[in-house]
Amino acid sequence: FYATLFAGFLIIVLLALILSDWGLSPQHKYTVTSRGVDFVSDSEEPAQLLLAIRESREFIVAPQFVQEGPENSYMTQSLTAFNAVLIGQGKKVVAVGRLVGEDGSLISCETNFGDPKTSKELSAKECSDMLASYSGQFSSVTVFISLPDPKLGRPRVILSRNTVSINPSSFESVSYVSYVFLSSLYDDAQSMIGNANAIVSRI
């Protein structure tokens, strides 16, 4: 009796977890998988949003960093790829490196304000205010690159008209997800990233 009761309980729990996608992945109205990366949206088809995003004149690229550790090199590689492709397309790129604590809370950030020769550290509030100010500009797109979430089944790119969230599933996938997204925007992204990597390797 108890074995049957326990087995029934396990089946109910497993069904609940499966139906809720293990409680880890929110459901989105639109989902398209490309090269192992999920492109999701709640407003429009991902293809339509990508067409709109590629025409934006200004991009704010905001990867997350930890206070210290080899993990930061993966995030830097992603930022380098975005800079190489977007600047190569004639876009203005504002880099915003977001330093986060162990709990994911924002500590501070460093930005170039769109000038490669400039670098200024901002407090958490100043950084949040700056990013919020860009969110209301229809001519710009803010790209948030998050630290990896190992609970993700596949890397995910969440799209809206003025915001992109890059969500890798591991540090090894950070550059790959960035590459897949950039390639979805511009056909020549691969060659631009290759040229940038060649220059970096010679420095």
Amino acid residing at 28: H
Question: Rounded to an integer, what is the distance from CA 100 to the centroid of its chain?
Answer: 15
pTM of the model: 0.82
> Pick from 202, 198, 180: which is nearest to 46 by CA?
180
- Output the tens digit of pLDDT for each of the chain's 203 residues: 455 655 556 665 555 544 444 444 457 789 999 999 999 999 899 999 999 999 999 999 999 999 988 889 999 999 999 999 999 999 999 999 999 998 989 999 999 999 988 999 999 999 999 999 887 677 899 999 999 999 988 999 999 989 999 999 999 999 999 999 999 999 988 888 877 666 555 44
